[in-house]
Amino acid sequence: MVDATPVLEVRDLDVRFGTKRGLAHVVRGVDYDLHAGETLAIVGESGSGKSVSTLALTKLIPIPPGRVNGTARLQGTDLIACSETELLRFRGRHIGFVFQDPMTSLNPVHPIGRQLTEGMRHHLGIDESEARERAVDLLDQVGIPSPASRLDDYPHQFSGGMRQRVVIAIGLSCDPEVLVADEATTALDVTTQAQIVELIAELQERRGMAVIWITHDLGVVAGIADRVLVMYGGQVVESAPADELFAHPRHPYTVGLMRSLPVLGARRDVELAAIPGLPPAPTDLPPGCAFHPRCTYRLDPRCEREPPPLLEVAPGHYVRSFYEVPADEARAASAAARIEVAPPDRRDDPEVGP
């Protein structure tokens, strides 16, 4: 159930890096609200700025050479304006992170029990005994069998799916208001991926926290997201409620992403559609619409010289384009992808992944 009060308000978020090739404008004017209990999906190709836009919220990027501007208010506190010392109170405690590769998130020389209890002792002020009891309960919640006996095991003693569950437990350990899942299922096989998606959805429903899903795969978020932001070239190019976006995609890039999804059972002689060209380098963004060099719809002369504004084309549905994909083509792209927006199945006893 989505609460009416935003727990996180992001306005005009801007991230730049000084490089040898010039200034890299990685995130450009990103705005969104995140409500308690809501799942916000941020979708886009590699290099679109989706991961940096969330890491920048708590300045988990090197500064310098990075520069972050804008505001990110978490329950009234502007995280962008906070000092490094102040941010230590928010990282882990109010915003938890689950990253793509658990082996780079977990310290290989420390048992997982120590890694689980460290944040709880620091943020919650509890002693080692209470922290270990809480760690056992967390491992049980994320589906680790015999959790008490696994606290002193090291990351290499767990499979990939189990390590990701441990990382989720660490992200949840201090009861954050917001959980950021940054490509949290990309490195997993499809069966484990589905289990992790369902696990986070179940934990979110139980705890009432807000979740930001970052992914390049529209199919992953179709069944769990309340709202979707599609990013390209560091900007939000389309934003809408999930059911509206998947039923009526309006931006050519969103349509291209849908068409490029593989379809289970498709004939082998049917070539997979692909978006031509490559995403722009953040040090060499094209003038006008960032997507126009790859767009098959660039019919308006403004596309190559004017940056299009983000305009509301339907209630809650915003698009940054001078060209709106016709309704019949949008429906065809959605139907071709066979995306169905529906809540994931709930199981009382979720299957434990490999």
- For residue 15, the cross-strand partners are 27, 68
Q: Given pLDDT bands bounded at 50, 70 and 90, which one contains residue 342?
A: very low
Integer Cα distance of 222 and 244 in angstroms: 11
pLDDT recorded at residue 276: 86
Please count the residues of the chain.
354
Is residue 103 classed as helix, strand or coil in its secondary structure? helix
Q: What is the pTM of this model?
A: 0.86
Integer Cα distance of 188 and 193 in angstroms: 6
Q: Where are the domains of the chain?
A: 6-35+52-228, 231-264+273-337
117 pLDDT above the threshold of 60: yes
Integer Cα distance of 43 and 217 in angstroms: 7
Helix (DSSP H) and strand (DSSP E) numbers for the chain: 12, 12
CATH assignment of 6-35+52-228?
3.40.50.300
Integer Cα distance of 305 and 208 in angstroms: 45
101 pLDDT above the threshold of 80: no
* Residue-by-residue DSSP string for 53-95: HHHGGGT-S-TTTEEEEEEEEETTEESTTS-HHHHTTTBTTTE
150 pLDDT above the threshold of 60: yes
Give the model confidence (pLDDT) of 59-92 as tens digits.
888 878 889 999 999 988 999 999 888 888 888 8
